[in-house]
Structure 1
Amino acid sequence: MTLLTFRFAPSPNGELHLGHAYAALLNQEMAAQADGRLLLRIEDIDITRCTPEFEAGIFRDLEWLGLSWERPVRRQSEHFAEYRAVLDRLIAEELVYPAFMSRGEIRAFIAETGGRDWPRDPDGVPLYPPLDKALPVKERKRRIADNVPFAWRLDVEAAMARLAADLSWIEFMDETMSATRTVAAQPQDWGDVIVARRDIPTSYHLAVVLDDALQGVSHVVRGQDLYSATGVQRLLQELLGHPQPRYFHHRLILGPDGRKLSKSFRDTGLAALREAGMPVRDVKRLLELD
């Protein structure tokens, strides 16, 4: 019988905070309930912001919380060749295209053509304009040869036309995993998302889909802020022939002002709580996990 497999996948681009603690402890708790496995994955494709110091801090914080996980740990930065192979497949199948517009050019185009009525993704970001998708192949190659900056974007319309598969996913209703519901995926809501940069052959979406498949992840337990993004990942799973995990998108841990905790705003980190002598049981009590 195949063991159920869970994973906690932080990025070492800052210190872990209480929101990360909740996700990590919840993954461990649900894995234990299912007699399953818990993996740790370091999502460090952003090589400019991720550092060994932050990674070392992740290990210290998780060990302090009492987490245990299988070794070895998968580091995304060690697997760029695998991501490149998948990207090359998508390029060959004409499911991605080079997108050359800068942020300023995007803003200018939208201001001239759509303004406030321009469609936006679930995060409120304007969808990428369709200009580059219509560029002739010769012009694409010329710009690439001239070192014009670009990113590879998924042609969502072409990808969905290629598939006759059901793009729904199974979502658990609560932490007990006793009831599920089927959710209809809407990848088109995100427009043509970035799947790779010119200098980094992957993106969050592409890497997480491949990693989950290669690691045999059966259950993805993560924050509600990633709920809508699941639709894009379901599309990529079907395109690449990967099995779909089951999902549980847990509640977010909010700060006193009601906003989601964030590394960028330097919310109270686990290192600070540990150094202040806070017992782990008090952390769990704060998170309503005791």
Structure 2
Amino acid sequence: MVVSLGLAITLISCGGEPEADKPAAPAEVATVVTAIKGADGTAASVGGYAISDVSLPAKAGEPGTMSFRITKDGKGVTDYIEEQTKDLHLYVVRDDLEVFRHVHPTQGDDGAWSGDLMLPAGGTYRVVAEFAAKTPDGKGEQAMLGATAKVAGKTDVEVPGSEDGTLIAALEKTPKPGIDQEIGVLLSDPAGKPVNLGTYLGVYAHVTAFSRETGEVIHLHPLGGPENGKNGTRLGIHVKPPKAGDYVFFVQARVDGMVHTLRLPVTV
């Protein structure tokens, strides 16, 4: 269990891929984690932490490898606090917010993170790592760090929508800027009926938003379990958009063993 102080941030995964339906195991002792101010995914270095040596597959449409390093005051970070079943979550998002991937790399003996990745289109991508690093006092520091990398290849891409033939996603209402609030994410099948949600990375859904203007990343925390009603299945989420503007929300949920990723442009 992680208790976050200050600006709370958290994570997601790649859509359309099956994953074991395994809830997160509760920790016996809560760990206090303080969010690093300004580490919202828009900068490569904040509070002594840095992301460097970022590499993506050279060409779109072909299997490749992505890699990067996380350091604190120039030294590699190797001791992490697990959040939602992973030590580190990685977003790879094209700068126009039309391509989104959330992957979970592994860390090698040399401290570098790497993993397999194939991107559907070329362009400039933002690579955002989210993690909570252990500190010498036994607590933790949470950060989101972002850097850019270019990928060669065609830039045309089929942009995901708010439905994919199996699942439909919508926000219950438009969030207000600068205010802590709960809103509902409504999930339904094509007939508008509730769906049977499985867990993914220990929760029933992940929702992450990206600001078009600044690139800031906002992770939205589910509050409780799903509730079935006349408009489908509702999941309450906690959200606080930093300011008014255009955002793209990516909703990820598991139905029938598959993780679906749906895209919702929102003006706050």
- Bucket of the pairwise TM-score, normalised by the shorter protein: under 0.3
- What's the TM-score once normalised by structure 1's chain length? 0.24
Which of the pair is proportionally richer in strand? 2
Task: Please say which structure displays the higher CA radius of gyration.
Answer: 1
- What's the TM-score once normalised by structure 2's chain length? 0.26
Which of the pair is proportionally richer in helix? 1
